[in-house]
Amino acid sequence: MATEILTGVLDAWKAAVDAHEPERVAEVFTEDAIFQGLHPYSVGRDGVAAYYGSQPRGMTADYRIVETRRLAEDVLLGYARVDFGFTDRPTLSVHLSVIVRRAGDRWLIAHYQVSRL
């Protein structure tokens, strides 16, 4: 069940990233999400939208879930490999850790951290 929940969240994130729709990407995050991409961190949806808005058009995200853990009834931890594809440079492979939290009838990303290690 945890893997299916995380897949649903990451599928929504991927669809918005691939479509280069930063506001839609931000909607997959909680209002107070801690976000750490490959630039300085931010808190909240505005920072997420700004980060993805600054990414080049044509960037895509392909992910593979490596591990999931249910931390509480409404909280999941996920660890994934993500390949960000670009039209003008080599693919960037990263590790992604997320904490997703149930907010009403939706699951949203509350913490997002990317690492090249």
What is the rounded average pLDDT for all residues in the chain? 97
pLDDT in tens, 52-101: 999 999 999 999 999 999 999 999 999 999 999 999 999 999 999 999 99
pLDDT class for 117, splitting at 50, 70, 90?
A: confident
In this prediction, residue 73 carries a pLDDT of 96
Cα–Cα distance between 44 and 29 in angstroms, integer? 8
**Helix ranges restricted to H, 1-117:** 2-18, 22-26, 45-53
In this prediction, residue 93 carries a pLDDT of 98
In the block, residue with structure tokens 């490999």: 81
43: which 2 tokens? 């808190």
In this prediction, residue 39 carries a pLDDT of 86
